[in-house]
A and B are shown apart, each in its own frame.
Chain A
Amino acid sequence: MESTDVAIETTQLLRWIILFPLLGAILNGIILRLKSTKLAGIVATAASLAAFVASFMAVTRWGFSLEGASLVYDQWFMWFQSGKVSVPFWLEYTPISGIMLLVVTGIGSLIHIYSISYMEKEVGGYRFFTYLNLFLVAMLTLVLGSNLVTVFLGWEGVGLCSYLLIGYWFTKTENAQAGMKAFITNRIGDLGFLISIFLFLAYAGTLQIQELNHLGPQFFSALPSWVLPAALLGLFWAATGKSAQFPLYVWLPDAMAGPTPVSALIHAATMVTSGIFVIVRVWPLFASQPEVLNVVFWVGIFTAWLAALIALTQNDIKKVLAYSTVSQLGFMFTALGAGAPEAALFHVLTHAFFKALLFLGSGSVIHGMHHEQDMRKMGGLAHHMKFTHWTFVIGTAAIIGFPFTSGFFSKDLILAHALSRGMVPYALLLTAALMTAFYMLRAYSMTFMGKPRSDAADHAHESSPLMLIPLGVLSIGSLFMGWIQTPHFMGGGHLMETAVKSSWGGAEAMKPFAEHKISVGGEILMILAVVALILGVAYYSFKVYREFQSKKFISPAERAVGPTTAAPFINASQNKFFVDEAYDLIFVRPLRFLSGAFFRIVDETGINGLLHGMRKSLDFSSGILSWAHTGNVQTYAWYLAAGAAILLIFVGRVLL
């Protein structure tokens, strides 16, 4: 460590947070390999709970605001070191890590519990729980890692687990395909992460996050001006992969092929937010680069908009939630881009709760419907699944920003920051929020309202208590989590702000953009207007879709949005704006073509062709030579005489 005036506290607690789930994974995956899914689930849940307890201990020990500028390290072991590259496997506690720890282990544990019931009919479900535990290991490494490579280890680790879990039902090729798509898309992003690492290594000479924070903009301003932006853009590029932003978001909707608890844990609550988390960790660097933040900002807005548009017309309940996730992640990036890491992280937190809730709720529905995910075949489930229904209502309320639910606070914070960057972004973001209200109410209404539209819906059953308890807990979180960080005029908590600010190891982050002061009254007015708009849209959507009938609504979105002139647009939205097809056309096919072409042209025709050509020319020349060997002794003698004559002539030339 470079000598700073920062006090360093060492501990050995943090490693246990990782070791417990690792132990669980080893037990489940290698040693026990239980036949009973339930028992395996219990083992895994125990491991997860143990990690939660350890996390809790850590949080109680250091809290959400580190005094002054102290660092907490668990200096575990030296991973590898060579020359300039030094990668210690150290774990670090920062307040934001603390928050993430609680989210990951807490929500993780809930989802473990939920899964015990959800997966009980699986044969060999121990595999599932092994993967879940492994995911926790990786995610916690990501959260706790003290340097970029350790973070990267977790980063790729969660990618691997996501790959495994998406493709959990691997007998269907599409599932395996979706897993692969996720992994590869993430890898595209990871290249950015690596480039960023290499840039930091080459120019700053260190990969310890806090050291980078300490070096700060002053250090980097001495280097070529492109270095820091490039490195940060690399990180952001990686984040667009992991956190499903445009252009790399395409894997997330497909990732819904995995079991629903996985979607809840990985593809909603934890993994997909790691991009935001990592950016917040090196925020002092980002804060010094407004241009980079601008990119982040607009990508966030665009993604929020695009995903919301697509979500409007999806019929698969999990797809709606998936696009909603993409859209919400876009909100978070917008917050980052607007220079408000606390807002982004706050939304991460609240989103973790309500989105996990929504996913688990939809999981409960799907479970009740015997793995039917098409909303057009649902309807009227409110009667059959009362508890699930009410938790889903809470989740929906939270996500659309119903006043005083958690989503209300976080989303309004983001909107406020967006406003400070100008009216246009604000308007765009607001539209996205309105669309959120529309599609969420649409999903809610189609699922729970009206009459059952299929036998399965008619005979749907409420899920077991083991699945409902997590729903309950998450509902509570979704309702009240917002109060930890409230608008200034409400005077409530500002835990996020303090946590974020004390997470940089004492380094200061500058304000990237000028503060835009709005009067308290104006702010309240604005919030009220927003709430009114949102509720209006929500009510409209509710009204339209409450009586949704599958026969009548062959193209339900068409009816929803209005006249037929919009039909092409709806078609496009339903088909996700053909982004997948475009990627296929622009990247996948050319790559496949190139690979075949290169192999055939360079290897087979070129190099091997050259070799065969050489062999042929050898054959040919030996054929010619063979023709010269006539077998007639006089020919032989002729060569002798001619050879002698030629030699004599040459001698003559040389000599005379």
Chain B
Amino acid sequence: MQILTYVLVALSIMSGLGVILSRSAVVSAMSLMVTMFLTGLLYFSQGSYFPAVVQILIYAGAISVLFIFIVMLLDLKPSRVLIPSRKIVVFFAVLAGLFFAFSLMFLILPGVSRSSLVGELMSSEGDVGLFNAKSISLNLLTKYMLPFQATTLLLLAAMMGAILIGRAGRKKED
């Protein structure tokens, strides 16, 4: 089980690398989808089945596909990661990223390993009732009712924006 988890972790990181390293947007989008999927599997591996399902259905299934659609739609030429003027950008980006990672790890790991967080996750069988679709939905419908409702407004706004902007982009062609 543990080995499986390590394999999944390694794979997901590799596919994550694929997202940011590939020359072609299509490859990136596919890698993204794979990463999403692998992450879903990671959820499974720790027993969070409902999130895992959601992840695979919505993320890997919908959002990634949306990206792929757009990539197809735009018909982009493969872009090089390293073109001369961008070397410096890449360098600084990697630098910032490494610093970010380093400092995060530096802060998190000692705490995590020192504390009560160390140890087994609760076994996947014992507490299915606690951590399933129902409990999550209960939260959303009681405690987080208001934010949950607010997301409708959020989605409405996003929808209006997409329509508005999409229409405007089309107008140009007319």
Contact = CB atoms under 8 A, between A and B. Distances in A.
Interface of A: 634, 638, 641-642, 644-646, 648-649, 651-652, 655-656
Interface string B69-109: 00000000000000000000100110011011001101100
A656 B104 CA distance: 13
B98 to A, nearest CB: 9
8 contacts: A638-B93, A638-B96, A641-B96, A642-B99, A648-B106, A648-B107, A649-B103, A656-B110
A641 B103 CA distance: 12
Given A642-B96, A656-B107, 11 more contacts: A634-B93, A638-B96, A641-B97, A641-B100, A644-B100, A645-B99, A645-B103, A648-B103, A649-B99, A651-B107, A652-B106
A590 B99 CA distance: 66
Contacts of B107: 648, 651-652, 655-656
A367 to B, nearest CB: 97
Contacts of A651: 103, 107
Contacts of B104: 648
What DSSP secondary structure best describes chain B's contact surface? helix
In the complex, which of the residues A645, A646, A651 has the most CB atoms of chain B within 10 Å of its own CB atom? A645
A291 to B, nearest CB: 84
A217 B96 CA distance: 88
A644 B96 CA distance: 9
A652 B103 contact: yes
B100 to A, nearest CB: 4
Contacts of B93: 634, 638
A634 B85 CA distance: 14
- Which 10 A-B pairs have CB atoms at the shortest separation, nearest pair first? A648-B103, A645-B99, A645-B100, A641-B96, A649-B103, A642-B96, A652-B106, A652-B107, A645-B103, A638-B96
A391 to B, nearest CB: 105
A586 B165 CA distance: 85
Contacts of A649: 99, 103, 106
A648 B110 contact: no
B89 A634 contact: yes
Contacts of B97: 641
Nearest to B89: A634
A86 B65 CA distance: 101
A18 B103 CA distance: 94
A391 B103 CA distance: 112
Interface string B95-128: 0110110011011001000000000000000000
A644 B103 CA distance: 10
Contacts of A652: 103, 106-107
A655 to B, nearest CB: 7
Contacts of A645: 96, 99-100, 103
A656 B107 CA distance: 8
Contact of A638 (B92, B103, B106, B110): B92
A39 to B, nearest CB: 97
A100 B107 CA distance: 100
A302 B106 CA distance: 94
Given A655-B107, A656-B110, A648 B100 contact: yes
Nearest to A648: B103
A370 B97 CA distance: 103
A60 B100 CA distance: 109
Contacts of A644: 100
A656 B105 CA distance: 13
A33 to B, nearest CB: 87
Nearest to A656: B110
A638 B107 CA distance: 21
A265 to B, nearest CB: 92
A646 B100 CA distance: 8
Contacts of B103: 645, 648-649, 651-652
Contacts of A655: 107
Query: Which of A644, A648, A651 is the most central at the interface, judged by chain B CB atoms within 10 Å of its CB?
Result: A648
Nearest to B103: A648
Nearest to A655: B107
A655 B93 CA distance: 26
B83 to A, nearest CB: 14
A307 B97 CA distance: 94
A644 B104 CA distance: 10
Contacts of B89: 634
A645 B93 CA distance: 12
A360 B99 CA distance: 102
A243 B35 CA distance: 108
Contacts of A648: 100, 103-104, 106-107
A634 B89 CA distance: 9
A649 B104 CA distance: 8
Which residue of B93, B96, B106, B107 has the most chain A CB atoms within 10 A of its CB atom? B96
A646 B103 CA distance: 8
Interface string B53-81: 00000000000000000000000000000
A460 B92 CA distance: 105
A652 B110 CA distance: 11
